[in-house]
Structure 1
Amino acid sequence: MPAAVPYAPYAPAEHAMSILDLPATTDDILLDCLPPSDILRYSRTCRYANTVVKSYMKRAFNLNKLLSRFFSPTEIQRFRELQCSTGMLISGSIALQFFERVLYPDSDLDLYIEHRFSRQVADWLVNIGYNYAPLPGQDNPQSLDEAFHRNPHNQTHIPRIAVLLKDIIFSVQKDYVTSPFVFNFEKQNPYRKIQLISSLLSPLQRILGFHSTCVMNIITHDKAYSFYPRATFDEHYSLVCRPDVEVDTLKKYKARGWSMFDLSDFPPLRVDMYSTFSLGRRYVGDPCCWTIPINSGLNLPHGYVESNSWVIKLRYRFGEEKVITKFDVLATRRLKFSYIVDTADLNMENEIRKFIGRSQQTPNPQSARYLDEIVFRCMNKLRAESEYERLDTESEREIEYSDESESES
């Protein structure tokens, strides 16, 4: 009969259990409780910790697990292909769940897309068993065909030459549920709901117009981005950005663990707010974002969402301070997608105009390729060479005395 092994800490070295002997999933119990900044710090302590965190990240940030509530494995692959070809973004509560590593059982899948690509996705959802569900009200379209008849997916106001459209102030537009560009799809047993929310141009216009910062997260076919990760996931703070946000919406996110703040909750110097909420000049995938690569298992090209940039700042107007987001919209028929662009840097604007304008001089526009890759490289080059700091401290409090030409919509 073998000799009994004494209990630790008096066990001989050859019988002592090492942390290396534990199954990989043992780490999940601990890492699930850590905010992202602490997980990052832990990964930098040693090679073993780095290996542990990499393994954990693959298990914890599993997009297919979230999507499996809405699609079969084969459908998930096709969905990811559609994301790549149409620029469709996952946002809303599903994206928040992905980063927060939680599950809200009754949440919808919110998809954001340029309207010209929306019919392709809508038809696919119907083909896999989802039914179009009209919005309440007799004036709303009662069928998918009627919805697209009223708002044709091939309508376009994109000019033949490159233009930078008028500045758009941080959204105070009507709630998107009243928009004619919202398509509801439902499936029973169990009940699931998908909302396809389209914009005439870049869907990021809508996402940056959300009610507060905690839901400003997106998932593309190859990466997930949180725009305000320090506030959202380290501190569980959310900055309310719209004056017309419904009380029930704020209560919902408070119940989920977020402290909802407006400008009156911060001290006059606002130093903490600028660092916590990463205000200033921003772009998708910048160092202030939390970016997680997603392996789709498919051989798909990289996306172009990182060509988007904007500025978020404070504006003092008529004795009231408010949060605004400013950007221009870059749209031309030589681009497959439209983009939001921070044109506060004139070098960036001039360079983009030069690249796009030069490419207009083509003898056969019908055979010309899209220029999204050129814009993508151009934006990356300009960022690398940029001389300004990300935080535009000279304009942290912008004072405006008249409405002039800017509008809030």
Structure 2
Amino acid sequence: MQSGGENDGLGLRYLLCQYPIRSCIFRYLDTRSILNLCRTSSAFRGDIYSYLWDINEKLERFFRNPTAFRTALGRADGLIAGSFALQFFANRFWPESDLDINLRDGEGVEILGKYLVEAEGYEMVRNQDLEVIDYDQFIRLRDIEKIITFAKSRDGNGSSPELKVQLVATKNHPIVAILGTYYTSCIVNFISWNKAYCIFPRATLLYGETVPLTEPCDYDVALHNKYSKRGWRVRTRSVNFKPGSANLLRGDLHPLGTCLNVDRRIGGSDTWTMKLGTAGVAPPPQPDSVLDYSSFSLWVTGGVQLDDPLADGCRVTINIEIFKSPSLRYQHTYGSLRPFWSFVGDVLVGNLHGQLKTKMIRSTAESIISTSWRVWDCEFVKPDGWDYWDDWIPEAFEAFNATS
């Protein structure tokens, strides 16, 4: 049905724009039905996205000025994760939930902490350096330095329950802590200053399933029960995959996307990446491609069966590692060094040697190379005019995959 403007009083789009009707209809639609409705026309999609997935409206619960907060979030290279990100994608609301922001320890933590106190009226109530008690806790917290909690009352005068924002300070890029240590698949979602990412949209939003991602331990029992009560079926194997119905090397139709130890690009087709409106939000220096073209891999252990990677006794884990180079301004991630990131590493090592020879005196260049057993990880003061290749990564990825 085509919209004819203000006179198409009985048009479907017109009806869905009327708040009482729209609110009533969407209350009974699941995510699959909503996304199918979005596919009917670009106009519908725009209307539905602005109604259901308005990030500024969702953030108003915690921040007086959501666009200013998102500017600060971008400057700090922070990622909103945890239950807030899941609520955003699933159109749920849990009044008791906090807002968690993962960001690298250092300047970013100072930027965002200062913003919360000075611009939003929060008070720092806890600065917790993490202490590892046992092996399970070590695995979970290995990428986290500390957690800083900020709080304020909802109405500003202390008579209502607290709002809490937690800054989770990480050792490396915050995406490593999110993908590498989260315990179940439904919470592997995050929001940057201008995009929202749902890593397992089929399982999480279409099938309402969540698959454990860490070794079972007593600490996780209450966490798994929490998401069971919130509507996600905790599966040790996915029931929405029929063995032999898909090419698993490509991840066709599988609820978790690409499996069998194949690298997945964070901004790739298996991820639901939603662009967010950026009016009034100042962009940060770090380009989107750093996150979009980083990757990870799903590892299946415990007797993998080619026709069903989640057969009984198998366990899925996420592998994600830091990729860095003196020729890159920003940290990227990989799941497996081969084949793409191995190619990138070879190119960047050659670039590094070339730059050292042309932009530094010979004795200094030779000293850096000879004393660095891992040349891609060596630290030194870059001379003026040092060339960074971060903008080459997307081009290299597209060209590499076109020929492989």
Instruction: Output the TM-score relative to the length of structure 1.
Output: 0.72
Partner residue, 1:195: 166
**Residues 1:372 and 2:386 aligned together:** no
Specify whether residues 350 and 30 from structure 1 end up closer, same or farther in structure 2 by C-alpha distance, changes over 3 A only. Answer: same
The code of the aligned residue for 1:184 comes to T
1:212 positional shift: 0.3
Tell whether 2:342 aligns with 1:349: yes
Note closer, same or farther for the CA distance 1:380–1:93 as it changes in structure 2 (3 Å cut). farther
C-alpha change, 1:267 and 1:134, in structure 2 (3 Å) is same
**1:313 partner SS:** strand
Matched, 1:185 2:180: no
Amino acid at match of 1:182: I
Q: Larger deviation: 232-241 or 352-361? A: 352-361
What is residue 95 of structure 2 aligned with on the other side? Answer: 105
Corresponding position of 2:188: 216
Matched to 1:201, the amino acid is N
Q: How does 1:82-97 map to 2 (within 5 A)?
A: 82-97=72-87
1:200 Cα shift?
1.3
CA distance in 2, matches of 1:220, 1:356: 30
CA distance in 2, matches of 1:338, 1:376: 14
Superposed, 1:4-43 pairs within 5 Å as 17-19=10-12, 21-22=14-15, 24-25=17-18, 26-43=21-38
Pair 1:82–1:371, CA change in 2 (3 A):
farther
Q: Deviations over 1:295-345 (max 9, x none)?
A: 121352642211211110311279953222223311235534322113353
Distance 1:178 1:292 in 2: 26
Do 1:89 and 1:218's aligned partners in 2 also have CA atoms closer than 8 Å? yes
Q: RMSD of aligned C-alpha atoms?
A: 3.5
Is 1:61 aligned to residue 53 of structure 2?
Answer: yes
SS for the counterpart of 2:196 is strand
Higher relative contact order (CA 8 A, sep 6+): 1
Instruction: In structure 1, give the amino acid aligned to 2:24.
Output: I
Greater shift after overlay, 345-354 or 316-325?
316-325
Pick from 63, 69, 72: which aligns with 2:64? 72
> What is the rounded CA distance, in whole Å, between the counterparts of 2:9 and 2:172 in structure 1?
62
Matches within 5 A, 1:225-304: 225-242=197-214, 243-244=216-217, 245-263=219-237, 269=243, 275-280=254-259, 281-297=263-279, 298-300=281-283, 302-303=287-288, 304=290
Q: Supply the distance in 1 between the matched residues of 2:52 and 2:9 (Cα, whole angstroms).
A: 30
SS in 2 for 1:276: coil
Farther off after superposition, 201-210 or 94-103: 201-210
* Contact 1:134/1:184 (<8 A) preserved: yes
For 1:215 and 1:342, locate their aligned partners in 2 and report how far apart those are by CA, in whole Å: 19
Aligned-partner SS, 2:314: strand
Normalised TM-score (structure 2): 0.72
* CA shift in 2, pair 1:351/1:313, >3 Å: same
Amino acid across the alignment from 1:277: L
Quote the Cα distance in structure 2 between the aligned partners of 1:72 and 1:33.
31
Question: Counterpart amino acid of 1:186?
Answer: A
Q: Is this contact kept in 1: 2:80–2:190, CA < 8 A?
A: yes
The alignment partner of 2:182 has SS state of coil
Q: Is the 8 A contact 2:186 2:210 kept in 1?
A: yes
Secondary structure of the structure 1 residue equivalent to 2:300:
strand
Q: Number of residue pairs matched?
A: 337
Q: Distance in 1 between matches of 2:242 and 2:17?
A: 47
Runs (5+) with no aligned partner, structure 1: 1-13, 142-146, 151-170, 388-409
For structure 1, which segment, 312-321 or 294-303, has the greater mean C-alpha deviation from structure 2 after superposition? 312-321
1:122 correspondence with 2:113? yes
- Identity fraction in percent: 20
